[in-house]
Amino acid sequence: MTARGSCVVVGAGPWGLAAAVALREAGHAVRLLDDGRHAAGHAAAGMLGPWSETEPGRPDLRDELFRAAAAWPDFAAGLSSDGSDTGYHPSGTIHVAIGGEQIGPLRRRAEQMTRPDDDHRWLGGRALRALDSGIGPGVGGGIHLPDEHQVDPRRLITALAARAERAGVERLSAAAARIDMVDGRARGVHDDAGTLHPGRVVLAAGWRSAELSDRVPLRGVKGQIIRLRADSVTDLPCRHIIRTGDVYVVPRPSGEVVIGATMEERTDRHALAGDVHRLLEDAFRAVPGLSELPIVETSAGVRPAPADGAPALGRDADDVIWATGGFRHGILLAPLVGTAACAAVAGEPIAISAWDPARFTPTVPRTAAAT
Ligand SMILES: Cc1cc2nc3c(=O)[nH]c(=O)nc-3n(C[C@H](O)[C@H](O)[C@H](O)COP(=O)(O)OP(=O)(O)OC[C@H]3O[C@@H](n4cnc5c(N)ncnc54)[C@H](O)[C@@H]3O)c2cc1C
């Protein structure tokens, strides 16, 4: 492989790993720094839900979410061809309304969000229970999304890390402390031991990317999440991902069942008794059989959320390549990251203009990429 230049990637979460793999496979020498603090990806549920995640009035995001979902089968197959298992599982998703008061809002959302090519039919409670017998008697109706699947983010991270290692990415346990700037351009990263790692800088440190550059206004949004375990796939209390307005339940073939998640404007990683209690209560109303399973973990992660809700995936005015801002859908979007990072390093125009990090500094003239 011909070396095409050095890159230093900060952060070995799903986005940093996806970028590192793609850059290495494109012929760059890649050094990957990670400080070993848990990634948001470690907490994540792994729902691949483009419809579920789209907010009304965000067509830019919707189209990319659907594009990412369509890319997932090949992305997972590519990783599993190495012998890794991402836990990609075509479970489908059911949005349910509990009690009469939730039916109106869910129906309205379905009407607002449906595209002509979507096949989202409203089903009554009895029909939903015929589809998934785990759905509780208090569910009055809902929508079946047969194309919204799941992946196991922890397995995904392991699979990407193995792929990176095999490809020859040099991984270091180190915290990036600051970006090295020369004549207004990023030329490398200093770690907290003072060592300079030279190369094109790819900033994929999740919400903590904001500690290294303020070019993208980024905040952390905490999510608490619970993991239960069934003895086997036949003991799972439901087969589909079940979502209400308040909570989701993700049953995995491994027997793991994930219940999440809170959305909080804070960055600590404690799981609090009261929040765990509320999540469980809401989840039991949707899927009563959950109450029979042992709790194996309560945890929290912090989502990277840019000020305008869209990711930052491209080159900023300091020549830093941003690869973060996946917010609630960073696992879903992971298949789009590698190609975008390679294009940014090559100085190509960003394919998804709404995600250009330079949108936050429009007065700074763009310069040609330093290669
Ligand atoms: C509770 C919860 C549930 C979620 N569920 C879903 C879901 O169902 N579907 C979905 O698509 N998304 C989901 N997400 C969102 C998803 O997890 C994130 O968008 C995604 O993990 C972002 O990936 P990332 O690589 O940008 O950041 P992260 O996953 O946060 O990884 C960042 C990495 O950078 C490292 N790092 C940070 N600072 C430094 C530094 N200075 N030096 C070196 N390393 C550093 C960190 O240790 C970490 O390893 C969820 C998130 C949470 C919290």
Helix (H, G, I), strand (E, B) or coil at 175: coil
Confirm or reject: Cβ of 282 under 6 Å from ligand 1.
Answer: no
Q: Range with the lowest mean pLDDT among 49-58, 110-119, 165-174?
A: 110-119
Same domain, 247 and 347: no
Band (pLDDT 50/70/90 cuts) for residue 365 is: low
The answer, yes or no, to whether residue 290 has pLDDT greater than 70, is yes
Is 30 exposed, middle or buried (CB count within 10 Å of its CB: 0-12, 13-18, 19+)? buried
In a shared domain, residues 158 and 82: yes
Number of CB atoms found within 10 A of residue 121's CB: 10
Outline where DSSP puts E strands in the chain.
6-10, 29-34, 47-48, 93-98, 122-124, 139-145, 149-150, 170-173, 176-182, 185-191, 196-198, 200-203, 218-229, 241-243, 248-251, 256-260, 295-306, 312-315, 321-324
- Residue 122 has a CB neighbour count (10 Å cut-off) of 15
Mean pLDDT along residues 107-114: 76
> Is the pLDDT confidence value at 371 over 50?
no
Q: What is the pLDDT of residues 207-245, one digit of tens each?
A: 999 999 999 999 999 999 999 999 999 999 999 999 999
Do both 275 and 330 map to the same domain? no
> Domain check: are 323 and 371 in the same one?
yes
Residue that terminates a domain, selected from 306, 325, 354: 306
**Residue among 21, 33, 37 to mutate when testing ligand 1 (max atoms within 8 A of CB):** 37
Q: How confident is the model at residue 59 (pLDDT cuts 50, 70, 90)?
A: confident
Ligand 1 center from residue 19 Cα (angstroms): 14
Contact in structure between 260 and 279 (CB atoms under 8 Å)? yes
Which residue owns the Cα nearest ligand 1 atom 39? 205
Name the residue with tokens 């959950």: 290
* Mean per-residue pLDDT of the chain: 93
Query: Using 50, 70 and 90 to split pLDDT, how confident is the model at 321?
Result: very high
Ligand 1 probe mutation, 21, 32, 34, 324, most atoms within 8 A of CB: 34
pLDDT at residue 118 is higher than 80: no
260 lines ligand 1 (CB under 6 A): yes
Q: Which domain holds residue 267?
A: 93-146+220-306
The CATH number of whichever domain residue 51 belongs to comes to 3.50.50.60
**283, 306, 329: which is the final residue of a domain?**
306
Q: Report, as an integer, the average pLDDT of 273-293.
A: 98
305 lines ligand 1 (CB under 6 A): no
Q: Are residues 128 and 230 in the same domain?
A: yes
Q: Which of residues 291, 306, 321 is at a domain's end?
A: 306
Within 8 A by CB and 6+ apart from 44, the residues are 153, 225, 301, 330, 331
How many angstroms from the chain centroid is the CA of residue 6?
A: 26
Is pLDDT above 60 for 366? Answer: no
160 and 302 inside one domain: no
Do residue 51 and residue 98 come from a single domain? no
Atom of ligand 1 nearest to the CA of 323: 26
Rounded distance between C-alpha atoms, residue 349 and residue 156, angstroms: 29
Q: Closest Cα partner for 298 from 217, 209, 224, 222? A: 224
pLDDT exceeds cutoff 60 at 1: no
- Least confident segment among 40-54, 99-113, 131-145, 313-327: 99-113
Q: Are 41 and 326 in contact (CB under 8 A)?
A: no
Structure tokens at 19: 């970028």
Residues 40, 97, single domain; the answer is no
**% of the chain with per-residue pLDDT over 90:** 83
| Range in 251-265, 297-311, 343-357 the model is least confident about | 343-357
Q: 3-state DSSP call for residue 106?
A: helix
Residues 6+ apart with CB under 8 A from 64: 333, 336, 352, 355
Q: Are residues 157 and 259 in the same domain?
A: no
Helices (H), 173-318: 273-286
- The three-point CA angle 263-269-272 to 5° equals 75
Q: Quick one: pLDDT at residue 348? A: 92
Q: Percent of the chain scored above 70 by pLDDT?
A: 94
Tokens found for residue 1: 């492989």
Residues 192 and 265 in one domain: no
* Claim to verify: residue 110 and residue 159 sit in the same structural domain: no
Total domains in the fold of the chain: 2
We report the CATH number of the domain holding residue 138 as 3.30.9.10
